[in-house]
Chains A and B, each alone.
Chain A
């Protein structure tokens, strides 16, 4: 006892502090723990946690190097993989801004007056996303797209008071569907697939009509979809949902919205999406950013999950920010809260605000356009290889598209990896795809040379496979 530690200023002076308190030993502070479950310092210290003793920075940094030596990072070229999160460039300024200690090390802004800057940044995030979506109310973040979707369905159940089913496209992101099912498991609401056209990937409106009923709380479309399809009948799907009293939920990839009509113009009641492309990086699973937005309507806004920052004024009439509509939240409403969420992805929302501020309307459009051109370049080049169908679905796409190979997709992927390129998500087991089908992604981070190399390697690998 009594050793100094860099992160525990009082550890070297603990005895003196205890003495001032009139406490003989630190053990006395734990005397109310039943003896049968109390551990002695020796017992605890011998548990296999870390390396037992504290390590110095020098040692820790070396352990880290050993870990990273067993990570193969595909940066030249970046992976040709999307499927819900995408290789997108993170501007240096975004990274710089979210490492500002006053943002990074802050808690949720419970004390408004001393947290104005953080709240303004979050309000700006909400406002920038609102303009991108053309929807009026955006919360200060959910965990990711999939959990935002789960919450959207739960909200639809509350708003419509229907606990039967929600309808989704059969081609939707299979991982998102699993998450939605988990969120609905507690209430016993069923997720049901609506047929999509095998040629175009668009939702079959007749099948939708036949499945709609008084027990359907929501109809969901992805925009663009998991398999790359731009659901051009979104407005009609929304109308069909509304005719039968269901909410219309749209899932969006935000960069595509530089080119596509926003959900606010297509009748969406709730929009969810993945904020990861807005300057967050891939980081092998997170943190990401769940977008959640609704129209300006009380019955929707008051049922929203999550934290919302609003504009107000201070005692001297200055513009100010505050957390608003908090009676929806768990710390006040408890069992009747709209969600249990509290910790969210606030810092990632600040990153997205910085990203959108840097890009502006032109920058965002250019990123989307470059993505469109590069992905179409790749799709067309691949289609010229013998036996390759690319894109497989005959509908427009932006970054992600499906390809049918004359060989097993998983094997092609393995062979490409051996040649230094990580590409494609095999679609086997998903809707009506086969083991030869793959989801490819090309974005603004891929150059013409990158795509040429990919095509060359695919050709080489297929040659080996067929030869």
Chain B
């Protein structure tokens, strides 16, 4: 049976509707109110002269429009989404049901603490549980996403050196070349210079290069463990020692936590700061790109007399007052790097993680991690017969992978011309989401695959089989791989047209103004 996605060729919402249709009608002010306050007054200078050019649709049309659009989208509920480093696990429905509680909708973040004790308790417990899971001393759920957790972390590193009177010297952050792009980007946002170190053939950080890179100017090192190759960094304890020996701090990017959860903890490996992505390891749905939540955690490392890393963290914090038996929200203190968003947390995702962790318990989380790791290695086993011929497994062949594995389609490309992108499109045609491709940058024609614990044996087997079929089809010389995908809502999209200064169209307004000759190419 051939999988086919809906192909609605759905018009834009601007092209739908009519002249006099409404999808929602708010109450009008009662006549007494209008008489009492008089006609609506606004400063003349800034009264809107033309209403915004929004479409007019009934509720029926709006719902059908977006339902059709959803049918041309694909998530974990549709099938496997084995995007490497994204940990696209199943999103339990009990969590959706509970966090959709209508009692949360009107809770204002500046409401008094005594009216939101239940919510604060759940968030406080998530912080406690995360501390245990990571082996850290304190976690804050303030950051809105992983990248914000990273920003929190690098700002803490900056402040640490400032308070120790060595900020002028400590200007560099060391990052392995296999790191997620967010690491160097976060370091740069905090004003640091980024120093990259290469990966050795055994998949670990190149120690000679690391020793050469770390010195007096090193403020800290950011590392993902397991790495984006899905490999555990075997010399992590030595790395920690080297970084600490120059008074640098060690930062843990928790994007790949699913690879060691239940078996090892960054806090025990010498990490001073860590973030986790609740929308990865803790089953919060990704929503097509967000919302997420990126709690940041620290060790009680002393900064200066009486100040620890915890005091440097951004954002309001949730504390439990034993005397009162109540939870409180505390504004950031005088050592804090400040706030990253105006309010306490991305509360709904944090509550989702509460439901998930409560459902799993320590034991369930461990089993999830173990099955995720077993799934990766089972997949590699299934691929054994085509390794070398069509695909390869660069770095540390024979070593078990953890949450993910990075195959290279380079042999296939050399033989047939079919690229990693072609392979990805061939997977789409079979009704699978593709892996992360062309990342990490140190693997040519990279296919970065992470099944998580959510996939069945049959799905993993079918995925492996499809990868082989793709290779055989490309090797047959038919050239059909250039035609893929055929079964999705559209055929391959034109990226050049999408980005050309004459045709780039980020909004419908640009399309209209260009048609009317009111704007030119993007210069």
* Contact status A116-B490, CB under 8 Å: yes
User: Residue A85 contacts which of B51, B104, B109, B375 (CB distance < 8 angstroms)?
Assistant: B109
* Contact status B232-A343, CB under 8 Å: no
User: Residue B110 contacts which of A55, A147, A425 (CB distance < 8 angstroms)?
Assistant: A425
A110 cross-chain contacts in B, Cβ below 8 A: 83, 434, 436-437
- B63 touches A (CB below 8 Å): yes
- B497 touches A (CB below 8 Å): yes
Closest to A231 in B: B46
A-binding segment of B24-32, B296-304, B385-393, B407-415? B24-32
Within the assembled complex, what's the spacing in Å between the Cα atoms of A345 and B499? Answer: 23
- A436 touches B (CB below 8 Å): no
A185 cross-chain contacts in B, Cβ below 8 A: 155, 158, 190, 337-338
User: Residue B115 contacts which of A11, A99, A136, A422 (CB distance < 8 angstroms)?
Assistant: A422
* Contact status B144-A147, CB under 8 Å: yes
User: Residue B182 contacts which of A321, A340, A353 (CB distance < 8 angstroms)?
Assistant: A340
Minimum C-beta distance from A297 to chain B (A) = 8
Minimum C-beta distance from A379 to chain B (A) = 8
A117 cross-chain contacts in B, Cβ below 8 A: 10, 68-73, 489
* Contact status B400-A70, CB under 8 Å: no
Closest to B28 in A: A370
* Contact status B40-A372, CB under 8 Å: yes
Closest to A446 in B: B27
* Contact status B374-A10, CB under 8 Å: yes
A218 cross-chain contacts in B, Cβ below 8 A: none
Minimum C-beta distance from A296 to chain B (A) = 5
* Contact status A14-B343, CB under 8 Å: no
Within the assembled complex, what's the spacing in Å between the Cα atoms of A147 and B283? Answer: 25
A111 cross-chain contacts in B, Cβ below 8 A: 424, 428, 433-434
Minimum C-beta distance from B241 to chain A (A) = 12
Within the assembled complex, what's the spacing in Å between the Cα atoms of A51 and B358? Answer: 6
A78 cross-chain contacts in B, Cβ below 8 A: 106
The B48-87 residues at the A interface (CB cut-off 8 A) are: 48-49, 51-57, 59, 62-63, 65-78, 81, 83, 86
* Contact status B75-A101, CB under 8 Å: yes
* Contact status B108-A422, CB under 8 Å: yes
A105 cross-chain contacts in B, Cβ below 8 A: 75-78, 81, 91, 285-286
Within the assembled complex, what's the spacing in Å between the Cα atoms of A362 and B187? Answer: 46
B-binding segment of A20-28, A206-214, A401-409, A459-467? A20-28
Within the assembled complex, what's the spacing in Å between the Cα atoms of A187 and B75? Answer: 39
A134 cross-chain contacts in B, Cβ below 8 A: 52, 509
User: Residue B493 contacts which of A33, A301, A313, A342 (CB distance < 8 angstroms)?
Assistant: A313
Q: Do A106 and B75 form a contact, CB below 8 Å, given A7-B92, A100-B66, A318-B491?
A: yes
- B100 touches A (CB below 8 Å): yes
Closest to B115 in A: A72
Within the assembled complex, what's the spacing in Å between the Cα atoms of A296 and B32? Answer: 46
Q: Do A340 and B62 form a contact, CB below 8 Å, given A99-B96, A185-B337?
A: no
Q: Do A118 and B507 form a contact, CB below 8 Å, given A71-B103, A330-B182, A360-B22?
A: no
Minimum C-beta distance from B358 to chain A (A) = 5
* Contact status B73-A68, CB under 8 Å: no
- B334 touches A (CB below 8 Å): no
Minimum C-beta distance from A199 to chain B (A) = 15
The B291-334 residues at the A interface (CB cut-off 8 A) are: 291-292, 294, 314, 332
Within the assembled complex, what's the spacing in Å between the Cα atoms of A70 and B508? Answer: 47
Closest to A175 in B: B342
The B91-134 residues at the A interface (CB cut-off 8 A) are: 91-92, 94, 96, 98, 100-112, 114-119, 121-122, 128-129, 132-133
Within the assembled complex, what's the spacing in Å between the Cα atoms of A48 and B341? Answer: 30
* Contact status B513-A136, CB under 8 Å: yes
- A53 touches B (CB below 8 Å): yes
- B209 touches A (CB below 8 Å): no
Q: Do A54 and B46 form a contact, CB below 8 Å, given A137-B510, A358-B59?
A: no
Within the assembled complex, what's the spacing in Å between the Cα atoms of A370 and B65? Answer: 28
Closest to B432 in A: A114
* Contact status A102-B100, CB under 8 Å: no
- B367 touches A (CB below 8 Å): yes
- A417 touches B (CB below 8 Å): yes
Within the assembled complex, what's the spacing in Å between the Cα atoms of A313 and B495? Answer: 9
B57 cross-chain contacts in A, Cβ below 8 A: 357-358, 360
**Chain B interface size, under 10 / 10 to 19 / 20 to 34 / 35 or more:** 35 or more
Contact digits for A86-106, partner B, Cβ 8 Å, 1 yes 0 no: 010111010111111111111
Closest to B499 in A: A324
- A456 touches B (CB below 8 Å): no
Within the assembled complex, what's the spacing in Å between the Cα atoms of A134 and B53? Answer: 9
- A238 touches B (CB below 8 Å): no
Minimum C-beta distance from A154 to chain B (A) = 7
A-binding segment of B242-250, B258-266, B469-477? B258-266
A122 cross-chain contacts in B, Cβ below 8 A: 288-289
The A342-401 residues at the B interface (CB cut-off 8 A) are: 342-348, 350, 353-354, 356-367, 369-370, 372-374, 376-377, 380, 395-396
Within the assembled complex, what's the spacing in Å between the Cα atoms of A120 and B6? Answer: 14
User: Residue A377 contacts which of B29, B188, B513 (CB distance < 8 angstroms)?
Assistant: B29
Closest to A3 in B: B367
B212 cross-chain contacts in A, Cβ below 8 A: none
Minimum C-beta distance from B258 to chain A (A) = 12
B437 cross-chain contacts in A, Cβ below 8 A: 110
Q: Do A55 and B361 form a contact, CB below 8 Å, given A230-B42, A284-B107, A372-B40?
A: yes
* Contact status A106-B74, CB under 8 Å: yes
- B290 touches A (CB below 8 Å): yes
Minimum C-beta distance from B339 to chain A (A) = 5
* Contact status A179-B76, CB under 8 Å: no
* Contact status A52-B363, CB under 8 Å: yes
User: Residue B262 contacts which of A44, A74, A99, A298 (CB distance < 8 angstroms)?
Assistant: A44
- B455 touches A (CB below 8 Å): yes
- B1 touches A (CB below 8 Å): no
- B418 touches A (CB below 8 Å): no
Q: Do A39 and B263 form a contact, CB below 8 Å, given A14-B371, A70-B117, A85-B108?
A: yes
B454 cross-chain contacts in A, Cβ below 8 A: 7-9
Interface centre among A360, A396, A414, A425 (most CB of B within 10 A): A360
User: Residue B72 contacts which of A57, A79, A116, A130 (CB distance < 8 angstroms)?
Assistant: A116
- B506 touches A (CB below 8 Å): yes
* Contact status B63-A8, CB under 8 Å: no
- B256 touches A (CB below 8 Å): no
Within the assembled complex, what's the spacing in Å between the Cα atoms of A362 and B236? Answer: 61
A30 cross-chain contacts in B, Cβ below 8 A: 232, 260, 263-264, 373, 400
Given contacts A50-B129, A183-B189, 7 further A-B pairs with CB under 8 A are: A32-B232, A75-B105, A111-B434, A147-B341, A313-B493, A315-B492, A380-B36
Can you name 12 A-B pairs with beta carbons within 8 Å? A23-B374, A48-B128, A67-B119, A73-B104, A78-B106, A97-B67, A106-B288, A123-B12, A175-B342, A324-B504, A335-B185, A360-B57
9 shortest interchain CB distances as A-B pairs: A347-B287, A346-B289, A105-B75, A117-B72, A358-B23, A182-B338, A287-B291, A117-B69, A312-B498
